[in-house]
Structure 1
Amino acid sequence: MTQQIHPNTELGYVKLKVASLERSISFYRDFIGFQILKLGEKTAEFTTDGREPLLVIEEIPNAVVLPERSAAGLYHFAILLPTRKDLGAAVKHLIRSGIEIGQGDHLVSEAFYLQDPDQNGIEIYRDRPREGWKRDDQGHYVMGTEPVDVSGLLDEAKDQEWKGLPPETKIGHVHFHVRDLTLAKDFYHSVLGFDITGDYQNMSALFVSAGGYHHHIGLNLWAGRHAPFAPANAAGMAYYTILLPNEAELDSVLKKLESSGRIAEKKADAWFVKDPASGVDIRLTVQ
C-alpha cells in the first residue's frame, strides 16, 4: 500500500534556464511583478515577500529554445495569487502591456497563460474556495476549460492599483510534458506518495497533489509518448522544489526513494532527485 506524502507538503521556488539574464530580469520584474532578491553574474533570485525566493533564473551558455511540445520537460509553472482582486489587477496590467495571454476557467480556479522570452510556460491564477470544488464518482476533481468572466474579473479589481505580485503569492503547481504516464504515475503516486486527484485519460493527463489540493503536479503526454528529454542547454526548468513540513517527513521521502532504487543526492542544503518521466530535477527540503 502506498504511503501518502504528508498533507502539508507544498511547493517552493522553481529554477529556470534562460538565454539572456538581462532580458528575463526585465520580463519577470516589469511584466510579471516579481522583486529582485539577489543578483549574481549569471543568476537572479526573485521574491514577492522580500525574504524568500519564488523564482530563480540562470543564464546558460549557447541556450536553445526548443519547438513547442517537442520534448519532455516544462509545460508551465503556476503562480498562485491570494485573491480574485489580485488576479484582476495582474491581468489588467498584462493587458495594458500588450503581452499575448490565454485564459481558462477550470471550475476550481481561474487561470491565465503566457510565455516568457524563452518560451517557458507560465500560468497566473487564483483558486475558487475549496468547499466548492467537486469530485466525480472516482474521487477525481471535476475540472474543465470554460471562458473566464474577464469583464467581471477586471471590474472587481477596478479600484486596485497594480504594484506587482502580492507578498502572499505562492508557486501553486507545476505541469510537465512526460515520456510515459505510467512511469510518471508510479513515481509520483507509488513512490513519493502524492494522491491522484485527476486521471483524465481522455486528455492523456494526470494530476497529483498532497492534502486534497486540486493539483500540485500536472503530467501530460502532449509532447508525444516517449518524447525525448530536453538537452542540457535548452531553456526550460532546471528544477522545482518540494517542501516537506519537517525533517522526519523529508527522511521518509528519501527512504521511499531509496527503496524504489532512486537515490537522492545531497547538494548544499537540500536533496535532489530526477523525475524519470520529465527529466526535470526535484529539490527536496523542509519548510
Structure 2
Amino acid sequence: MTAAAVLHQEVEIGLVQIRVSNLERSLKFYQEVVGLAILRRNGREVEMTADGERTLLILREIEHARVLRRNSAAGLYHFAILVPDRPSLGLVLRNLVASGIHVGQGDHLVSEALYIQDPDNNGIEIYRDRPRDTWTWNADNHVSMTTDPVDVDGLLAASEGLEWEGLPAGTVIGHVHFHVGDLAEASKFYVETLGFELTAHYGDAALFISAGGYHHHLGLNVWAGQGAPAAPADAPGIDYFTLVLPSEAERAAVLERVRRAGYEVMETAGVPSFTDPWNIGIRLVLNK
C-alpha cells in the first residue's frame, strides 16, 4: 500500500479574501475595530495588512449582496488572525471592549482566542498561541484542545500600560475554519488529497487538521447541517485562501494529487488555483 501523501511541515496559511456588502463600512470596521491597515486599493478590492508589507486580508465588495442566516451554508465559519504574544492579545481585547462590539472568547489550551463578527457576519477569531512545548498530544497523535473561559483579567494585566496602535508586525493568518456539508468528503479532500494531517476530531461534528505539527491550520465542521449547500457567490463569505508552500516541487506534487482526484486546476493571476467541494477557493503560492 502506498503511504499517504503529507504536506511539507513548513506549509502555512497566507491570506484570505472575503466578500463584503459595503466596502467603506467594512474598511472602517477592519481598521478601527480589528486593527488592520490599508495596504493598497484596486476599485472594489482592498488589501489589508498589519506590518505595511504583507497582505493578510482582501476585502471584495459585491453588489446587491444577499443576506444569509448565520450558519446556514457551507463556507466561512471564521478566519483566524494570530498575534505574536499575550500582551498583543490583551491590547486587542481592550480595543474590542472600547469599540462596544460583542466579543466571544475561549481558552483552547493551545491558545487563547477572542471571537467577533464583521458587519456582514463574517466570523473572525483573533488569538495567541501558547508555546508548542506546552501542548499535549495523546497516543493517537491528537492534540488536546477544549473551550474554557479565557483569563480576561490576566490578558488585561499583560497589556497594562501599553498603547493600542493596531495589530502589530508579526501578525499572520493562523488558520481558517469552514462549515462543510460532509466531514467524510472534507477529510477526503483536505487530508487524502491535499495532504493535511488530522490533529483533533470532535465526534461526528468537527475535525481539525494541520501541517508540520501545528494544532490546526484548518477547522472543518457540519454545524450548518449535514449536506449544507455551498454559500452563494452573491452573499458575503470567503472567496479563497492561499496555502504558502516552500518550493515549486512541493506545489507540483500537491497539484498532481488535486488533478488525480478529479479537481480542475486553473491559473488565476499566474497562480494555480482550484476549489474544494463547497466552492471555497484555494491558491497555491510560494514562500518568497
Q: Specify the TM-score bucket, using the shorter chain as the normaliser.
A: over 0.9
Show CA shifts across 1:177-230 (max 9, x none): 00010000011111111111012215x101110000000000001000000111
Deviation at 1:279, TM superposition (A): 2.4
Question: Which residue of 11, 16, 19 maps to 1:17?
Answer: 19
* Misfit runs of 4+, over 6 Å: none
Determine helix, strand or coil for the equivalent of 1:222: coil
CA distance, structure 1, for counterparts of residue 58 and residue 171 of structure 2:
15
Q: Is the 8 A contact 1:269 1:285 kept in 2?
A: no
The offset of 1:50, in angstroms, is: 1.0
How far residue 246 of structure 1 moved from its aligned partner, in angstroms, is 1.2
Q: Which residue of 1 aligns with 2:130?
A: 128
SS in 1 for 2:125: strand
1-side partners of 2:8 and 2:51: how far apart? 25
Q: What is the match of residue 237 of structure 2? A: 236
Q: What is the alpha-carbon distance in structure 2 between the residues aligned to residue 65 and residue 272 of structure 1? A: 27
Displacement of 1:267:
1.2
Unmatched tracts of structure 1, length 5 or more: none
Percent identity (aligned):
51
CA distance in 1 between counterparts of 2:233 and 2:190 reads: 23
Mapping of residues 61-140 of structure 1, within 5 Å: 61-140=63-142
- Whole-Å separation in 2 of the counterparts to 1:92 and 1:249: 41
**CA deviation after TM superposition for structure 1 residue 281, in Å:** 0.8
Between the aligned partners of 1:14 and 1:22, the Cα distance in structure 2 is 19
Structure 2 counterparts to residues 188-227 of structure 1, below 5 A: 188-201=190-203, 204-227=205-228
- The answer to whether the Cα contact below 8 Å between 1:273 and 1:282 also exists between their aligned partners in 2 is yes
Amino acid at match of 1:215: H
Q: Give the whole-Å Cα distance in 1 for the aligned partners of 2:286 and 2:264.
A: 18
Q: Give the structure-1-normalised TM-score.
A: 0.98
Change (3 A) 1:269 1:159: farther
Alignment partners' CA distance in 2, 1:178 and 1:2: 23
User: 1:271, CA displacement in angstroms?
Assistant: 1.2
Aligned to 1:260: 261
TM-score relative to the length of structure 2: 0.97
Summarize deviations over 1:115-139 as a string: whole Å, max 9, x none.
0000000000000000010112321
Root mean square deviation of aligned Cα:
0.9
**Residue 285 of structure 2 is aligned to residue 285 of structure 1:** yes
Would the aligned equivalents of 1:177 and 1:220 in 2 still touch at CA under 8 Å? yes
Letter paired with 2:92: A
Alignment partners' CA distance in 1, 2:100 and 2:262: 48
> Is 1:11–1:172's contact at 8 Å kept on the other side of the alignment?
yes
1:285 Cα deviation from its structure 2 partner: 1.2
Give the distance between the partners of 2:207 and 2:67, measured in 1 at CA: 26
Separation in 1 of the partners of 2:78 and 2:88?
Answer: 20
**Kept in 2: contact 1:116–1:122 (CA 8 A):** yes
Q: C-alpha deviations, 1:43-76, integer Å up to 9, x for none?
A: 1110111112100001101112210111000000
Measure, in 1, the Cα distance between the counterparts of 2:259 and 2:101: 45
> Which residue of the partner structure matches residue 167 of structure 2?
165
CA offsets per residue over residues 136-194 of structure 1, 9 Å max, x none? 23211111000000001101101211100011000000000000100000111111111
Separation in structure 2 between the aligned mates of residue 243 and residue 280 of structure 1, nearest angstrom: 16
Q: Equivalents in 2 of 1:253, 1:163: separation in Å?
A: 39
Counterpart residue number, 2:151: 149
Which residue number corresponds to residue 8 of structure 1? 10
Q: 1:184, 1:196 → 2: CA distance?
A: 12
The amino acid that maps onto 2:227 is H
**Using the alignment, how far apart are the partners of 1:155 and 1:179 within structure 2?**
42
What one-letter code is carried by the residue in structure 1 that aligns with 2:283? R
Q: Amino acid of the residue matched to residue 38 of structure 1?
A: R
For residues 2 and 200 of structure 1, what CA distance do their matches in structure 2 show? Answer: 22
Task: For 1:256 and 1:231, locate their aligned partners in 2 and report how far apart those are by CA, in whole Å.
Answer: 27
